[in-house]
Structure 1
């Protein structure tokens, strides 16, 4: 299975990733199911902060597997710090996961609830020389995850992303996406769960401190339909809806999920 050939279907989906990517069978894989009653309240956990320069956003792309926004990470221009982290982490990309229907799509599950979608803001530890170097380190990556919940008053800030989807309908399409500050997507409350895990896509490297925001952001059914209007095929191939790009739950294996003392 090459970088291009993994996916979410029966033939190349999550159950088979480990054949080409042994890490996918590791002990610290993501996503996981979180039960509030089992979460450790940790008095030393701090609030987290971002400082995102809107000028860092570069492009938005349909990769055939997700909608991805890329950011300039050549210096500390858009950063994350605090929370469970001991360093400054640079924002590299934003990726979105969603389902074929509104009752699924998120990768993590909280108190048995699976949301309509999940947004991942991927950051890497700026004490390492580059992103690829960080992927090999225990504290290499931090991902802030936002849940998308279908409801009555959708967050207007999502429009900025949704407006561009027409331009990237098919796999491989990429257009400039400038002057975007992803912190406009954050919910009002900043409380979070945190645990140590992995990327949810191959090679599934175990190098991620997860910061999962407890409060979901509200989206509309129509907005979720817009994501489903993307194709996982190229313009030359028949339309194939890009949906259900989420990995099933992985075993917790004695890991501790923590939250702030509130």
Structure 2
């Protein structure tokens, strides 16, 4: 078992076993973390986060066996974020989700020990400093991920097009065209955030991510969350055993002396 094929979210290949193939799992800036709001340091010099997704080009929707993902054309600077804790702009590469089986578990980051049913990750890379996403993913300042919590409430109109399309990528390894989707509709109106230096939350667990975790969740319906839990499978179409894609999250990791900064006063 090598590379990307040796990990998952089961008892034998889940997060507690990842260190066997990825020793950096015990590194000093691993993600996710539990954000203790009272210990976050307000930094008045942090700028507002600027999201410029208006000209983004979504390409496809896919099931990679670990999550459902929407990929974007990242060949130019039309789709970028800037401001916040960032020195420059970072291009959007993809977004994906992590979720659980019930309302009180599923997010990767937690806040004061509280978990949310789901967490959205919008993954960006430093195209000014690096020539490819792969190169950026192994550099300490290569990636920026915006984390958005999903909590159950009313129906989220912006999410409907995605949840209605999940049946097309039910099985691991499937992909479907998914164009003209602007992920700005998945952001809350309030972009106040916590930020800290961290890592990818899936193997290879590179410590290359500046995390921007938004304080305000978006509200989605039980029906919408149900489509994630009941439609998608960890298994491929050719496999006899059909395993629902749930609990695809890594638990919080030690902070190891890192400072979590806040763009807002508690």
Do they fold alike, i.e. is TM over 0.5?
yes
After TM superposition, list the pairs within 5 Å mapping 1:92-241 onto structure 2. 92-127=93-128, 128-151=130-153, 153-229=154-230, 230-237=232-239, 238-241=241-244
Q: TM-score, normalised by structure 1?
A: 0.97
Q: TM-score, normalised by structure 2?
A: 0.95
2:30 is paired with a residue whose SS is coil
Quick check: 2:192–2:264 contact (8 Å CA) kept in 1? no
CA-to-partner distance for each residue in 1:114-163, whole Å, 9 max, x for gaps? 00000000000111111111122211100001000012x23211102101
**Distance in 2, Cα, partners of 1:236 & 1:122:** 30
Quick check: 2:55–2:78 contact (8 Å CA) kept in 1? no
Quick check: 1:102–1:224 contact (8 Å CA) kept in 2? no
C-alpha root-mean-square deviation of aligned residues, in Å? 1.1
Quick check: 1:54–1:178 contact (8 Å CA) kept in 2? no
5+ residue gaps, structure 2, are none
Runs of 4 or more consecutive aligned structure 1 residues displaced over 3 Å after TM superposition: none
Quick check: 1:54–1:180 contact (8 Å CA) kept in 2? no
**Distance in 2, Cα, partners of 1:209 & 1:72:** 22
CA-to-partner distance for each residue in 1:34-87, whole Å, 9 max, x for gaps? 111101000110001111145510000011110011111112121111100001
Task: Tell me the residue number matched to 1:260.
Answer: 263
Number of equivalent positions: 261
**Distance in 1, Cα, partners of 2:209 & 2:47:** 18
**Distance in 1, Cα, partners of 2:56 & 2:26:** 38
Which of 247, 250, 263 in structure 2 is aligned with 1:244?
Answer: 247
**Distance in 2, Cα, partners of 1:10 & 1:261:** 39
